[in-house]
Amino acid sequence: MTHSGADIAQLLASHGLEPSRALGQNFVADPNTVRRIARLAELGPGSPVLEIGAGLGSLTLALAETGARVVAVELDRHVVPVLRSVVEPAGVEVVEGDAMALDLPALLAERDPGPWSLVANLPYNLATPLVMRTLVEVPVVTRILVMVQREVGERMAATVGHPAYGSVSVRVAYFARASLAGRVPPSVFIPRPRVESVLVRLDRRPEPAVDPQVVSYTRLAAVVKAGFGQRRKMLRRSLAGVVPPESFERAGIRPDARAEELSVEEWGRLAR
């Protein structure tokens, strides 16, 4: 049984809680939406899944319904007791803490060797840093399905030629293949946000798109950020002092190209 809007309202009122703007809390209050997310996550009995920002447990319960082994992380100490009362009877383990500070590799390794899925309704200000941290630092997570602000999701999934293609797109593509898995209207949240949300699916590549023995992610990210930092300029100008002029010819990249014209593989050659 997942939460309806009336259930969310009752839980908040009975425990004297209000959604925290500072934490970006928008609770999902639609059973169809959370079950749709659980279905798209392709979980099965015993599948280890990490949920970040579990809130009052709407999505958590839908994930548990699949038979998956759910570890739910929640930062808000006021919400955690309510979350525990709702989801622990369904076999969910609740971990109180900040997902950006927790030792996620150790936390997951102690529970299951993996591979793990990450499924979450992420606060808009946390979405990009959390996804990138997971891709960089938690290789045991091989599949990610997150609900994020539409513009953020479009940037994560964009490819060369798309208006949203940018630094985040390239850095995500280094680790994973990303795609948009659907839209989520503001009407399913309490409180109702002023923006649209989308579901983004990321499937980790067996190996990074650029050989890390040749070009490290740190080096690639530095070059990509510099290039997109002045995206209207030609690369020979935006990358001055970052990439030697002779590198363009060696990499087969036009020095008058713009950042949005290069694929992740081309960025890798240029960074090398």
The model carries a pTM of: 0.93
Q: What is the pLDDT of residue 9?
A: 86
Residues 103-155 have pLDDT tens digits of: 999 999 999 998 999 999 998 889 999 999 999 999 999 999 999 999 999 99
Q: What is the pLDDT of residue 147?
A: 97
Q: What is the pLDDT of residue 3?
A: 81
The boundaries of the domain holding residue 258 are 217-271
160, 180, 204 - which closes a domain? 204
Asked if residue 212 belongs to a domain, the reply is no
Q: What is the pLDDT of residue 125?
A: 83
Same domain, 164 and 243: no
Same domain, 173 and 44: yes
Residues 44-69 have pLDDT tens digits of: 999 999 999 999 999 999 999 999 99
Residue 1 reports pLDDT greater than 80:
no
Give the chain's domain count.
2
151, 177, 204 - which closes a domain? 204
Residue with the bigger pLDDT between 191 and 80: it is 80
- Quick one: what percent of the chain has pLDDT higher than 70? 100
Q: What is the pLDDT of residue 185?
A: 94
Same domain, 230 and 171: no
Mean pLDDT over 82-91 rounds to 97
Residue 262 reports pLDDT greater than 90:
yes
Same domain, 191 and 241: no
**194 falls in which pLDDT band (50, 70, 90)?**
confident
Average pLDDT score, the chain: 94
Q: What is the pLDDT of residue 22?
A: 82
Q: What is the pLDDT of residue 106?
A: 97
Same domain, 266 and 171: no
**2 falls in which pLDDT band (50, 70, 90)?**
confident
180, 204, 228 - which closes a domain? 204
Same domain, 172 and 231: no
Same domain, 125 and 246: no
Same domain, 102 and 222: no
Residue 94 reports pLDDT greater than 80:
yes
Tell me how far CA of residue 146 lies from CA of 11, 135, 258, in angstroms.
24, 13, 30
Same domain, 178 and 241: no
Q: What is the pLDDT of residue 101?
A: 96
**7 falls in which pLDDT band (50, 70, 90)?**
confident
Same domain, 164 and 133: yes
Same domain, 75 and 165: yes
